[in-house]
Structure 1
Amino acid sequence: MRMKLSSVLALAAALLLAACNSSNVKFSIVSGSENTVLEPIVQEFCAKQGATCTISYQGSLDIGLGLQKPEGLDQDAVWPASSVWVDLFDSGRKVRNLTSIAQMPVILGVRKSKAAELGWIGKQVYMKDILAAVKDGKMKFLMTSATQSNSGASAYLAMLSGALGGKQVIEPGDLDNPSVHDTVSALLQGVERSSGSSGWLADLYVDSARKGTLYDAMWNYEATLKETNDKLKQMGDERLYAVYPADGVAVGDSPLGFIDHGRGADVEKFFTDLLAYLQTDAVRKRIGDTGRRLPLGGAAIQATAEPDWNFDPGKLVTSIRMPEPAVIRTALNLYQEALRKPSLTALCFDFSGSMENEGEKQLQEAAQFLFTPEKSSEVLVQWTPSDHIFVLPFDSTVRDIFDATGDPGGQNQLLGDVAQQRAGGGTDMYACASQALRKILATPDLSKYLPAIVIMTDGRTDGSAEPFLAEWRQAPVPVPVFGITFGDADKSQLDSLAKATSARVFDGGGDLAGAFRAARGYN
């Protein structure tokens, strides 16, 4: 069938216009997980420009460590929750034109019936009130790791500020105060589950509610609490009541910055155009509707307040000023080494026959990272003498159970025990999980620890998960079972185990030590 000349010309004009509007740019962004809700806005702009955009999500520490490497990050732009992590790690000043997209206070969401029980509805709540609830055994909470995620670091800085009497700027000498240590350490005893991702933590709260497990509270971004409550409302479940600590809160500025890899002026222009797009009134309104506060926004582009759960993005909050990078680094080390709730970790190491040669070598290297304080402290996942560690090397059975505390001597002992293992035999990760669970449950004063099982395996396991899961369901406390994949591991089995125990699986195929480090952020 022949087309009319006018139709041919119209088609040609349309194709020419499309070609003119198409930038053909390939652009990548590494972002904090809290921005997943904003990805559709970015992708719409990319589609309009004819560009291909990729957004990957990492924790704040991962983003910072990437900036710290001599080669830097591979992505064209960085979008962390706070510029703190750029200031802390970007010593080479690789990031340019860093611009705040939104403001996100980190607050405490408390199950509304629990907030009513504590007498907090319609009242100002101070950090001392939260401490009293924790000490009296009336409340526990979810919180991301302060050394892995910005929301956890923000909650922790607010705790430090509260312990200092609401001091708005934390100075180096403040961190030497023993009474501050005691107060914040007591607050952190309220942590019931930790994670390296604010988005994952919110999903944990919702998924657990769906299964009938109701946590008391969660520290997270104001906007993430809105997203969580929207889901809980749809499910017909009880929502979280927003508590804005009167002593002060830390506010993430959600900055987007450009990293110049010398890929041409069109790439930088694309970034500049994206930044301008995100700052148009129409897009700011959409961002505001998610519950985020706008850096220069007025009431007209803020989400509607929801008084029934005390959500109000127009509410004035006492904001803590971010300390100098050196003070933040000292504070994070203090958290990891002295103040956080101790971890109780059972590590199942797969030494089956398929781990021979390269697999065994890499596992030994991972153990070197885990149990060498000089290495683990570089990325803020070092153990402390208060931590308790079990190492269970396994093949078709558990070969032995090595037990130590996290002091340097104990770590060295575990390193020597692992070094003596050689690959051989079949694989049964469920048998290891069962013995790990029994060791954890037999630990005295279990409530003072954050317990977890971490299984590293490289292949399909023998046995069945059901005997272990039956045992797990009868346990007096829920113990998450994390997986770390290696080589051609059957990820589906680890995924099923992690899902059943409200945990997750980390990919160790490219960087086994890095996967162990990520897992440590959840324990």
Structure 2
Amino acid sequence: MSGMMIRTLLTGLALTAALALAGCDAGGKGPKFSIVSGSENTVIQPIVEEFCKQKNATCSFTYEGTLDIGLALQSETGVEQDAVWPASSVWVDMFDTKRRVKTLTSVAQTPVILGVRKSKAQALGWIGKPVFMKDILAAVKNGSLKFLMTSATQSNSGASAYLAMLSSALGNKPVIEPGDLDKPEVQGTVRALLAGVERSSGSSGWLADLYTDSAGQGTLYDAMWNYEAVLKETNDKLIGMGKEPLYAIYPADGVAIADSPIGFIDHGRGPEVETFFNELVAYLRSAPVQKRIADTGRRIPLGDAVTKGDPSWNFDPSRLVTAIRMPEPTVIRQALDLYQGALRKPSLTALCLDFSGSMGGTGENQLQAAMRFLFNPDETGKVLAQWTPADRIMVIPFDSRVRTTLLATGDPAQQKNLVDKVSLQHADGGTDMYACASRALERMKDTQNLSSYLPAIVIMTDGKSDDASRDFLSEWMATNPHVPVFGITFGDADKSQLDALTKATSGRVFDGRGDLVSAFRAVRGYN
């Protein structure tokens, strides 16, 4: 073999090695590139995928709640994806203490506003006039307005609405300072506003789907706090369904604006991966793509392209809004602790725990560990999922029958008592999740002032249940307010049964097979 041939062969081997190190495939293929994002970016995903196709790259999206992205940034292992795309840079500032995120760049902007069913807005006298947070408060207090809103400790849209409420309660001072949060009158005002929450969630996209799905089934909610762009997407669906749209309310005393930043995480796979990210950002910021992003209802940083508004429901992305100044990260964290621990609407939660025979061994151990986490204020406080003394908790262990019903509040001593009592339960018997759900519903119906709580039934199961869904759903329909049922899967759970039950009750299924503790924490954002 000649020297030239050897050099050519070595050069080819070196190039192949470099491509493999960079996560690329030989033969001209681009890198494998993964993004973890907030759910509000689902409509932009196809635009990113077009770029990936142009570059022969394999791109994947994972959608997580704001808190999940923040906690991953803060953890020892960090985010496993190549890029993070949260709703707001605030969460990177607050959680990225190890400064892992590079080149954080805003792609779009969207304020968090209140969408009110148009006939409700008309009845409230809000059509064509400025509406202040005090007007929203008055409507909540007199019982004429309830709304959907994501959890402020799980989702950016909920946190944005909550921070705007705080800012208004403080008289719109230039910036919220730590001592401001201790003022009783401020806490009282915000607590009264949050009493208007009718359903909560950990995802802005899921909340919008809840509104449209419910409208399709004849259940009309009054209003929803969400991104201006998500309200456009929601109204596009509602109008297509022949349903009443939401009227956009831009609180005149201030709104929080999400800046939709995308940032790079260097996992040491070579400069080609970072180059691909930089090219992706340049593509997203290019004028033609910015126009396409603007067409989704988002406000773009360059300001050259704006979606045409719709006066019929007051949608106007060219409208100048009063933006609140976001507090320092330490103050935001203090505000979120205050929300979770004192100001949010209290929850009424029934936990149906599967202790059937198939849960023996690993399943039982992991379930007990999940309960030790869920009822340990020191641990739940770290992830903003703590209970309060105002919360009401039922723990109902079941197999083929309901074993017992344990009642408690979120008081720390009562939480410990729950852990002690659950520790005495062991796996044995068959599986009937509907018997547990019925017991929970019976207890909830006996609760005084049920409408003053956010109720939820959470079923954790690993097996197929005897099907008594028809009887349970008849009972469920007769209970007002309707109580959503959430499922947490474990082992080889029959997900189809849980899917059907949660869909019928406007709930959701969480996958607990990989991490049961995280699944229980996530469901807290929906209650």
Does TM, normalized by the shorter one, top 0.5? yes
Aligned-partner SS, 1:55: strand
1:377-425 residue CA offsets vs partner (Å, 9 max, x unmatched): 1100000000000000000000000001101011011111101101100
1:288-315 residue CA offsets vs partner (Å, 9 max, x unmatched): 00000011213xx110011110000010
Residue 24 of structure 1: CA displacement?
Answer: 2.5
> What is the one-letter code of the residue matched to 1:222?
E
Residue 462 of structure 1: CA displacement?
Answer: 1.6
Give the equivalent residue in structure 1 for 2:126: 120
Give the equivalent residue in structure 2 for 1:5: none
TM-score (norm 2): 0.95
Give the equivalent residue in structure 1 for 2:234: 228
Residue 167 of structure 1: CA displacement?
Answer: 2.3
Distance, in Å, in 2 between the alignment partners of 1:168 and 1:82 is: 20
Distance, in Å, in 1 between the alignment partners of 2:435 and 2:44 is: 43
Distance, in Å, in 1 between the alignment partners of 2:268 and 2:387 is: 40
Give the equivalent residue in structure 1 for 2:383: 379
Say if 2:39 is the partner of 1:33: yes
Residue 20 of structure 1: CA displacement?
Answer: 10
> What is the one-letter code of the residue matched to 1:331?
A
Identity fraction in percent: 69
Partner residue of 1:318 out of 317, 322, 325:
322
Asked if 2 retains the 8 angstrom alpha-carbon contact of 1:21 and 1:49, the reply is: no
1:52-90 residue CA offsets vs partner (Å, 9 max, x unmatched): 000110000000000011110110000000001101110
Distance, in Å, in 2 between the alignment partners of 1:234 and 1:73 is: 38
Give the equivalent residue in structure 1 for 2:476: 472
Give the equivalent residue in structure 1 for 2:190: 184
Partner residue of 1:405 out of 394, 405, 409:
409
Distance, in Å, in 2 between the alignment partners of 1:476 and 1:240 is: 24
Partner residue of 2:154 out of 139, 148, 163:
148
Asked if 2 retains the 8 angstrom alpha-carbon contact of 1:67 and 1:89, the reply is: yes
Residue 22 of structure 1: CA displacement?
Answer: 4.1
Asked if 2 retains the 8 angstrom alpha-carbon contact of 1:143 and 1:219, the reply is: yes
1:129-171 residue CA offsets vs partner (Å, 9 max, x unmatched): 0000000000000000000000000000000011111224111
Alignment of 1:258-269 (within 5 A): 258-269=264-275
Asked if 2 retains the 8 angstrom alpha-carbon contact of 1:168 and 1:319, the reply is: no
Residue 463 of structure 1: CA displacement?
Answer: 3.3
> What is the one-letter code of the residue matched to 1:438?
E
> What is the one-letter code of the residue matched to 1:296?
L
Asked if 2 retains the 8 angstrom alpha-carbon contact of 1:22 and 1:49, the reply is: no
Say if 2:439 is the partner of 1:417: no
Distance, in Å, in 2 between the alignment partners of 1:122 and 1:165 is: 24
Alignment of 1:191-210 (within 5 A): 191-210=197-216
Alignment of 1:252-263 (within 5 A): 252-263=258-269
Give the equivalent residue in structure 2 for 1:44: 50
CA distance 1:216–1:21, change in 2 (3 Å): farther
Give the equivalent residue in structure 2 for 1:336: 340
> What is the one-letter code of the residue matched to 1:423?
A
Aligned-partner SS, 1:208: helix
Distance, in Å, in 2 between the alignment partners of 1:497 and 1:281 is: 46
Give the equivalent residue in structure 1 for 2:81: 75
> What is the one-letter code of the residue matched to 1:238?
E
Give the equivalent residue in structure 2 for 1:461: 465
> What is the one-letter code of the residue matched to 1:269?
T
Distance, in Å, in 1 between the alignment partners of 2:41 and 2:190 is: 29
- The root-mean-square deviation of aligned C-alpha atoms, in Å, is 1.0
What are structure 1's unaligned runs of at least 5 residues? 1-18
Distance, in Å, in 1 between the alignment partners of 2:336 and 2:249 is: 24
Say if 2:354 is the partner of 1:350: yes
Asked if 2 retains the 8 angstrom alpha-carbon contact of 1:103 and 1:293, the reply is: yes
Distance, in Å, in 1 between the alignment partners of 2:523 and 2:202 is: 8
Asked if 2 retains the 8 angstrom alpha-carbon contact of 1:456 and 1:483, the reply is: yes
> What is the one-letter code of the residue matched to 1:118?
L
> What is the one-letter code of the residue matched to 1:383?
W
Distance, in Å, in 1 between the alignment partners of 2:39 and 2:45 is: 10
Give the equivalent residue in structure 1 for 2:114: 108
Give the equivalent residue in structure 2 for 1:240: 246
Alignment of 1:480-519 (within 5 A): 480-519=484-523
Give the equivalent residue in structure 1 for 2:526: 522
Give the equivalent residue in structure 2 for 1:391: 395
Residue 447 of structure 1: CA displacement?
Answer: 1.2
Say if 2:64 is the partner of 1:58: yes
Give the equivalent residue in structure 2 for 1:7: none
Asked if 2 retains the 8 angstrom alpha-carbon contact of 1:393 and 1:400, the reply is: yes
Residue 21 of structure 1: CA displacement?
Answer: 9.8
Distance, in Å, in 2 between the alignment partners of 1:447 and 1:461 is: 30
Distance, in Å, in 1 between the alignment partners of 2:377 and 2:170 is: 30
Distance, in Å, in 1 between the alignment partners of 2:114 and 2:44 is: 22
TM-score (norm 1): 0.95
